[in-house]
Amino acid sequence: MARISLAVATASVVLSSPATADVPVDAPATATAVAVVTHDPHENDAPLTYAQRTALAAASDRAALHPADLSVPYVANGKVVATATPTASAEALRVGREPYTVPTTVPDLGSDDGTIEGAPVEKEPVEPNPVEEAGAAALSTQATTALAPNFTTVKYSLAQLEAARDEVLTLTDLPGAASLVSAYVDPSNNRVLVESSTASTELRQALAAKYGSDRVALYHRPDAVPSVKKNREKDASPFAGGGGFYGCTSSFGWVHQGKSYILTAGHCTSLNETISNATGTMGKVTADNWNNSKGSVKWNGQSYYSGDASTIKMAAGKASSTLVYKGGPNSNSYRVVTDKWGPSGNGDRYCVSGKVTGEMCGFKVIAANITHKYSDGTVLRNMHKTYRRGNCTRGGDSGAPIYTIRSDGSIAAKGVLSGGSSNTSGDCYDYFTDTYLAEKAFAGVLRVKAPK
């Protein structure tokens, strides 16, 4: 089965030999070669405020409605910057310039402080939850205000940037094509950053010939080696996030039309497959946006990619829960999901709870909505890239829940781990699907404990 082959796909990418030496330092674009950068220009961006995040999400939705006229928005100097091409229609410009409605109060969205314990939590029978079923999980605000964007004209539209992002990793005729691992939009520079373990002159020239010298730039990271992370095994109904099945980890409880599901990574499953763990059958896969030989696919006729995720419908007599394992890999204690939020953005910090490594905190989002290629050739689309220095997640942690911890020890759901760097410690790079996007793509919503 494809799942088994993925579970051992941890070998390094085999790189083709460039004809010339790599560019060791930052280099500007020329008429015939794209620029090279050696550091992500946004890796030290400050976290967005809740109001900025809300406004940026609205700006992104507007751009998606006018992809040939508007471009990718961003935050600079504390304000959302909306962007448009010089030939944008009057209607697109009107939509792009409209103020955003943003909250004036900020909910408790938690932190990445793994030392917060909270009250002891035990499993209990799962009861129907009308609030959860409606998807109204604590994201309400009491007051709003209007926030006007800054507005600027850029060369490349959203459609042009996303076309380059989604195509470049699939090109096999580029010099050193196997060294390309990620592609994502760098909105403030109106270009796509192509992450690569090599940066030869031939590769720079080939990219410029394909896209022009300023639509893409090479982000040279010699140690870039990505892999999926497949490898709490005896969780039982009601199932919790962070528990194990086969070679992967469950993420968050899910509910649709009153029925129990659980969310995990799509590369861990196949559509209509029966899923089991050490205690027996868990359920059957009902939605899966991952092709096990190609990567992310557009689920159910949708116009967008939704990362790497799937839902498992619980078998008769079994249920998912609002719980997530905390502590080490042998833990039998939990946190409660009391909130959900998104979409995530640069600078966001979070924790992850995998069946192999247990709960680890201190990760930070350093790039959003990226396209990324794993060492087995599968391609992630519409994912977030993250960084942490220290111990890394490992094979078997795929599907793990990603979240922040609130002051009472409960958690706000944020994402589903897909994969990352193959080293076990040091500089750790991971990739995850935003739960905000999973709820947009799949039928149903996350299980969230209703407030008392």
pLDDT for residue 159:
97
pLDDT for residue 135:
56
Q: Which residue from 304, 297, 298, 274 is spatially nearest to 286, judged by alpha carbons?
A: 274
For residue 51, is it within any domain?
A: no
Domain with 276, as residue range(s), is 130-141+227-446
CATH of the domain at 346: 2.40.10.10
3-state secondary structure of 424: coil
Q: How many CB atoms lie within 10 A of CB 426?
A: 12
Q: Confirm if 392 and 352 have CB atoms less than 8 A apart.
A: no
3 state SS for 58-83: HHHHHHHHCCCCECCCEEECCEEEEE
pLDDT for residue 45:
80
Q: How far apart are the first and last CA of the chain?
A: 45
Residue 269 CA neighbour count, 13 Å, CB half: 30
- Total domains, the chain: 1
Compute CA 341 distance to the chain's CA centroid, rounded to the nearest angstrom.
13
Q: Confirm if 243 and 355 have CB atoms less than 8 A apart.
A: yes
Contacts of 163 by beta carbon, 8 Å cutoff, 6+ apart: none
pLDDT for residue 228:
60
User: What is the rounded distance in angstroms from the CA atom of residue 249 to the CA atom of residue 57?
Assistant: 29
For residue 191, is it within any domain?
A: no
pLDDT for residue 233:
82
User: What is the rounded distance in angstroms from the CA atom of residue 277 to the CA atom of residue 336?
Assistant: 22
What are the structure tokens assigned to 326, written together?
A: 């905390």
Rg (CA), the chain: 21
* E-only strand ranges, 210-258: 216-220, 226-228, 239-241, 244-245, 248-249, 253-256
The predicted model scores a pTM of 0.82
What does DSSP assign to residue 442? S
Kind plus residue range of the DSSP H or E element containing 167: helix 158-168
For residue 315, is it within any domain?
A: yes
Query: What's the count of helices (H) and strands (E) in the chain, helices before strands?
Result: 7, 29
What are the structure tokens assigned to 388, written together?
A: 């942490």
Q: How many CB atoms lie within 10 A of CB 23?
A: 20
For residue 289, is it within any domain?
A: yes
For residue 215, is it within any domain?
A: no
pLDDT for residue 247:
86
3-state secondary structure of 2: helix
What are the structure tokens assigned to 90, written together?
A: 């009057």
What are the structure tokens assigned to 145, written together?
A: 């205000």
Contacts of 212 by beta carbon, 8 Å cutoff, 6+ apart: none
Q: Confirm if 25 and 38 have CB atoms less than 8 A apart.
A: yes
For residue 264, is it within any domain?
A: yes
Q: Point out the residues of the chain with pLDDT beneath 50.
A: 1-19, 136-141, 230-231
For residue 330, is it within any domain?
A: yes
Kind plus residue range of the DSSP H or E element containing 313: strand 310-314
User: What is the rounded distance in angstroms from the CA atom of residue 422 to the CA atom of residue 400?
Assistant: 16
Q: Confirm if 139 and 103 have CB atoms less than 8 A apart.
A: no
pLDDT for residue 24:
66
What are the structure tokens assigned to 38, written together?
A: 């050696």
3-state secondary structure of 4: helix
Q: Confirm if 163 and 145 have CB atoms less than 8 A apart.
A: no
For residue 103, is it within any domain?
A: no
Q: Which residue from 255, 253, 256, 254 is spatially nearest to 241, judged by alpha carbons?
A: 253
Contacts of 59 by beta carbon, 8 Å cutoff, 6+ apart: 73, 80, 82, 96, 100, 149
User: What is the rounded distance in angstroms from the CA atom of residue 259 to the CA atom of residue 316?
Assistant: 10
